């Protein structure tokens, strides 16, 4: 694209010459990295502007303020994951009735998150901050997913293993395992021979967590319920 020195190139090619192919997008990239790395309070607009290579006031040509930039980052980051989850759970349009495969979902999500390592951290920070920005984004998905999960579990042999009240905790546990795999990588680093964020580490973890989910859906253990 950028080459082809032969053609006389009379087209003005204004797009290619633009100082910034898309400044707003580059700002979002930089902000995602910083918000994910340092959190909202720990990120300064100077950090972001420097990373983009522009001056601070220029940020305001694209986002009205820091909070709006943060929201935009959150939304842009989370939407694809939710879409991924929705697809995994509800099945593709082509074969919508196909039962979802939890292991495949876990693997898909982890592989996606591995490509955007700031994202799990962003989510974790957001949850620590109260998750008020997250809730509206998730509400569109989480509740239906939860219901669908519940429905599915009720038609599965292992269903009698868990009480329905336990399902939310199970879902959140899985959520925490996956998100936590990325956010605690600093710690895992020193424990695991396999780097947790390496391709191999992701692969191994995805397999492991998948097995874990599978195990959870199997027959109940013998221990009685004390409560």
Q: Which residue's CB is nearer to a copy of itself, number 26 or number 185?
A: 185
Is residue 202 within 8 Å of 111, Cβ to Cβ?
yes
81-106 per-residue burial string, b: 16 or more CB within 10 A, e: under 16: beebbeebbeeeeeeeeeebebbebb
Nearest to 49 by CA among 67, 29, 68, 79: 29
User: Minimum distance between the CB of residue 41 and DNA, rounded to whole angstroms?
Assistant: 8
Hey, what's the torsion of the CAs at 207, 208, 214, 215, to 10 degrees? Answer: 160
Please work out the total of residues on this chain that contact a copy of itself, with binding judged by CB under 8 A.
Answer: 64
Which range of residues in 37-45, 165-173, 200-208, 214-222 is near DNA by CB under 7 A?
Answer: 37-45
Q: Cα–Cα distance between 177 and 189 in angstroms, integer?
A: 16
**148 vs 85, 89, 136, CA distance in Å?**
12, 8, 19
DSSP 12: -
Q: Is the dihedral of CA 39, 70, 26, 65 positive or negative?
A: negative
Q: Does 202 bind DNA (CB under 7 A)?
A: no
Q: Does 170 bind a copy of itself (CB under 8 A)?
A: yes
From 72, 100, 131, 197, residue interacting with a copy of itself (rule: CB under 8 A): 131
From 65, 79, 139, 156, residue interacting with a copy of itself (rule: CB under 8 A): 139
Partner touching 19 among DNA, a copy of itself, none, CB below 5 to 8 Å by kind = DNA
Tokens 């490509």: give the residue: 115
Q: Which residue's CB is nearer to a copy of itself, number 154 or number 200?
A: 200
Which range of residues in 2-10, 26-34, 54-62, 125-133 is near a copy of itself by CB under 8 A?
Answer: 125-133
Q: Does 63 bind a copy of itself (CB under 8 A)?
A: no
List of residues contacting a copy of itself (CB under 8 A) = 38-42, 121, 124-125, 127-131, 134-135, 138-139, 142-143, 146, 162, 165-166, 168-173, 175-177, 179-181, 183-184, 186-188, 190-194, 196, 200, 203-205, 207-209, 211-212, 214-216, 218, 221, 223, 225-227
């Amino acid at each position: 694209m950028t080459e082809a020195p032969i053609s006389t190139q009379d087209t003005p090619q204004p797009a290619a010459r633009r100082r910034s192919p898309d400044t707003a997008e580059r700002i979002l990239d930089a902000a995602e990295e910083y918000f994910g790395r340092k959190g909202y309070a720990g990120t300064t607009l100077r950090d972001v502007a420097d990373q983009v290579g522009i001056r601070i006031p220029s940020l305001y040509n694209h986002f009205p303020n820091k909070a709006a930039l943060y929201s935009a980052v959150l939304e842009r980051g989370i939407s694809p994951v939710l879409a991924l989850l929705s697809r995994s759970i509800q099945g593709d349009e082509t074969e919508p009735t196909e039962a979802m495969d939890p292991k495949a979902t876990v693997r898909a999500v982890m592989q996606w998150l591995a490509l955007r390592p700031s994202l799990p951290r962003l989510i974790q920070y957001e949850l620590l901050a109260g998750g008020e920005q997250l809730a509206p984004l998730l509400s569109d998905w989480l509740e239906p997913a939860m219901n669908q999960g519940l429905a599915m579990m009720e038609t599965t042999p292992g269903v009698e293993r868990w009480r329905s009240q336990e399902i939310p905790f199970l879902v959140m546990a899985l959520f925490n395992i996956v998100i936590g795999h990325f956010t605690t990588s600093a710690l895992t680093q020193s424990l695991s021979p396999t780097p947790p964020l390496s391709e191999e580490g992701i692969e191994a973890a995805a397999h492991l967590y998948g097995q874990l989910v599978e195990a959870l859906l199997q027959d109940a253990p013998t221990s009685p319920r004390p409560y």
